[in-house]
Structure 1
Amino acid sequence: MSGPTAPAGPVGAPGLELRELECFLVLSEELHFGRTGERLYVSQSRVSQLLRALESRIGARLVDRTSRRVRLTPLGEEFHASLRPAYDALRATVEGARTAARGIEGRLTVGFQGTADDWIMRAIDAFHARHPGCATQIVEIPLCDPFGALRSGAVDVAVTLLPVAEPDLVLGPVFSAQRQTVALSVRHPLASRASLSAEELAGLPLIAPDGPAPVYWRTAQAPLATPEGRPVPAGPRVSTLQEGLTLTAAGRGGMLLCRPTADYHGRRDVAFVPVTGLPDSVLGVVHHAARETARVRAFTAAVREVTAAGTSPRPRHRPDTANGEARHGR
């Protein structure tokens, strides 16, 4: 594991060298002079020299060293706790300036559930037009785990169904409010109806996403009660949209989907009946609070620009997902 790297130079107090702070931080992690030297590409004696210089400037010992162990003094522990966030903030500031100087580059990975609709594809087009040096990868995230890929770092941003109430995640622009339909087997008595009221869902088992999606999110996609409080039976839980549609076709329950997804995933053995009296299905762009980068901010800005235009895109035909492109829906 490589240690922090930065050029030597004055930082704040007169005569204070960044290299000394860098050496102290790495030593605080390794608690070994030899390994610290290896990470910093300097000799063990140079590590000792840098530490002594820092302690001399502070006026107290920061590290206790014996023949058996190396450990931080109480003052060293306090100094490390204060120094680490300040050092990381300084590095982030420098990196931000470098990014601004050379433009948005690298790769941005966007996660979606089910299919990626034209709002997102237009946002990606706008992002590429502004930042041609940044490649965009589009990947599907499981219906049953809307936030896991963000937490693992598998995606930089995710387009997920609302609500989002996660303390470590940031909800950006919301868009694509769509009327809901209920997917039913064509053999179901309600399948021939032109529309249903939300109260008519009472008694109909609703197929819901499974965990690890949080309970509040799952119940938003498959309510346990109608707006007037009548109970709605819990149906099977599924991991993917296709599992849900397959169980729907088999008559195991109904599944709430927005209108564009119903149009996109139309099949002969499933009917999609509009439902009145339910909140619209809404999407949001989400990223991890600890991983907000210039790429993430630029993509979020592109989504805001596209949604602010206010023109609903026309539905596209089903894409070739084998090439890494997909359309969105739920």
Structure 2
Amino acid sequence: MNLRQMECFLAVVQDMHFRRAADRLHLSPASVSEAVSSLERSLGGRLFERTSRRVRLTPLGAEFAASIRQPIDDLHRAHGAARQQAVSHRDAVIAHTPELGHLILPRLVAAGSGDTVDAVGLLPAWRPIAMHTPGQLTAVADGEIDVGLCWSVPEQTGIDSVVLGEFPLVAVLRSSDPLASHAEVSLTQIRSRQILVTPRADNPYLDSQLQADVTRAGIPRAHIEEVARYDELVVHVATRGHVGIHPGPIALTSPLSSVVFRPIADASDRVRICAISHSRERSPSTISLIESLYMIVAALDLERALN
């Protein structure tokens, strides 16, 4: 028996649904199910009656939930208080996706030194750590990082998400491509082209939006190819002549004048740059950092880069 098993058990008690409990805990349904099963084995009795249609507590499960809920809450409060004390004596930790770190963190360094108009006063000491969006959600929930800087994320219990800015998806094209003369490009216009994207696992939430748009436009899955990193995508477009699809801020980091960027007119939604933090552990330093990040993203001049 361990704390994670009991947390999984209480999450299922709250939702009476294994998948919803797993989503709140940032775990797979199989992991939650195994944790509860292991707990049942250690107790020697069943905690839930499970069918294909419903989940409900057994008498043992109801009694056990009532007996552990307060001690578990007390443990979380003690952990939060100790963490707040520890945080006050260390640098804040900002996790970032590689691309957003490249784009935004140098500006945050300048803002902290007062060298730019983005400065909002003296910033707390902070240090960066590279981490993709799914890992950030878990690390924020576990208290391992103070701020996550990431792309679009779904709502998550216990996590605050501040939208720093919204940007279009763009088509990445050679400047000699016939579509480069258009102000906008539609997905249907590139339906027969080979399309390059960055790894889907880096942000499954953003990928699900893209996949829905691609399917609606009738683009075959065989036409979609992953390239290893965001900063390689423009090089692949320049050398191979394919079309890239990526969030618009890529235009602000591209070093190649032979590649242009055109908004995708029929994308279902804009892409968000978000700052995430723990909803119950937002320290003054966390709030200050998020305010600075908001000002920096608001000052990004994407329109100029797209023209």
Whether TM-score is above 0.5 comes out as yes
* Identity rate, percent: 12
Partner SS, residue 165 of structure 1: coil
What do residues 225-279 of structure 1 show as CA deviations (whole Å, max 9, x unaligned)? 37xx321244212342023223222336322334442132141342222333433
TM-score (norm 2): 0.56
- 1:175 maps to 164
CA shift, 1:166, in A, is 6.6
Q: Compute the RMSD of aligned alpha carbons.
A: 4.2
CA 232–155 in structure 1, closer or farther in 2 if over 3 Å, else same: farther
Conservation of the 8 A alpha-carbon contact between 1:96 and 1:294:
no
Report whether the alignment pairs 1:138 with 2:131.
Answer: no
- Rounded Cα–Cα distance in structure 2 between residues aligned with 1:210 and 1:310: 24
- 1:111 maps to 95
Query: More helix by proportion, 1 or 2?
Result: 2
Report whether the alignment pairs 1:129 with 2:122.
Answer: yes
- Rounded Cα–Cα distance in structure 2 between residues aligned with 1:241 and 1:157: 22
Query: More strand by proportion, 1 or 2?
Result: 1
Whichever of the two has the greater Rg, that structure is: 1
State how 1:1-330 maps to structure 2 within 5 Å. 81-82=68-69, 84-92=71-79, 94-95=81-82, 98=85, 104-113=88-97, 114-116=99-101, 117-118=103-104, 121-122=107-108, 125=112, 129=122, 131=124, 135-141=125-131, 145-151=132-138, 155-162=145-152, 164-165=153-154, 167=156, 170-213=159-202, 215-221=204-210, 224-225=213-214, 229-234=216-221, 235-251=224-240, 253-278=242-267, 279-287=269-277, 293-295=281-283, 298-300=285-287, 302-304=289-291, 307=294, 312-313=299-300
TM-score (norm 1): 0.53
CA 88–137 in structure 1, closer or farther in 2 if over 3 Å, else same: same
- Runs of at least 4 residues off by over 6 Å: 77-80
- Rounded Cα–Cα distance in structure 2 between residues aligned with 1:237 and 1:275: 19
- Rounded Cα–Cα distance in structure 2 between residues aligned with 1:269 and 1:285: 32
- Rounded Cα–Cα distance in structure 2 between residues aligned with 1:311 and 1:146: 21
- Rounded Cα–Cα distance in structure 2 between residues aligned with 1:195 and 1:156: 38
CA 171–206 in structure 1, closer or farther in 2 if over 3 Å, else same: farther
Partner SS, residue 175 of structure 1: strand
Q: How many aligned positions are there? A: 226
CA shift, 1:136, in A, is 0.9
Partner SS, residue 122 of structure 2: helix
Partner SS, residue 164 of structure 2: strand
